[in-house]
Chains A and B, each alone.
Chain A
Amino acid sequence: MLEIVGLTVAYGPVIALQDVSMSIPHGSITAVLGANGAGKTTLVRTISGLVRPRTGSVRLDHTEISRLAPEEIARLGIAHVPEGRGVLAELTVEENLRLGGLWRKDPTDRRRALAEAYELFAPLAGRRHLPASTLSGGERQMLSIARALVARPRVLLLDEPSLGLAGRVLGQIMARIKHLVRERGLTVLLIEQNARSALSIADEAVVLSLGRVAAADRARRLAGEEGLRHAYLGF
Chain B
Amino acid sequence: MGRFVVLTLNGLTEGAIYAAMALALVMIWRATRVVNFAQGAMAMFTTYLALFALERGAPYWAAFIVALLCGLLLGAVVERVLVRPVESAPPLNVVILTLGVLLVLEALAPMLFGGQIRSFPAAFSIVGMRVGSLAIPFSPFDLFTLGSVLGLMVILLLLFQKTDLGLRMRAAAFNAEVSRLLGIRVGRMLTLGWALASMVGALAGVLIAPSLLLYPTYMDQVLVFGFTGAILGGLDSPPGAVVGGLAIGFALSYVGGYFGSDLETVGALVILVAVLMIRPRGLFAWQSQRQV
Give chain A's interface residues, CB within 8 Å of chain B.
48-50, 69-71, 74-75, 79-80, 82, 85-91, 95, 98-100, 102-103, 133, 147, 151
Contacts and interface: CB of A to CB of B under 8 A. Distances in A.
Contact of B181 (A70, A89, A102, A133): A70
A85 B167 contact: no
A70 B180 contact: yes
- Chain B interface bracket (under 10, 10 to 19, 20 to 34, 35 or more): 20 to 34
Interface stretch (B39-47, B144-152, B169-177): B169-177
Given A88-B171, A91-B170, A102 B182 contact: yes
Nearest to B184: A71
B185 interface: yes
Given A48-B181, A74-B181, A102 B290 contact: no
B34 interface: no
Given A95-B167, A98-B164, A82 B178 contact: yes
A115 to B, nearest CB: 18
Given A50-B177, A102-B164, A133-B291, A91 B171 contact: yes
B174 A102 contact: no
A99 B178 CA distance: 10
Contacts of A90: 170, 174, 290
**Among B175, B177, B181, B185, which residue has the most Cβ atoms of chain A within 10 A?**
B181
A88 B183 contact: no
Given A99-B168, A133-B291, A88 B174 contact: yes
A71 B180 CA distance: 5
B192 to A, nearest CB: 15
B73 interface: no
A98 B179 CA distance: 12
Interface string B21-33: 0000000000000
Interface in B130-180: 164, 167-168, 170-171, 174-175, 177-180
Given A95-B170, A133-B289, 6 more contacts: A71-B179, A74-B182, A82-B181, A87-B178, A88-B175, A102-B184
Contacts of B168: 99, 102
A88 B174 CA distance: 7
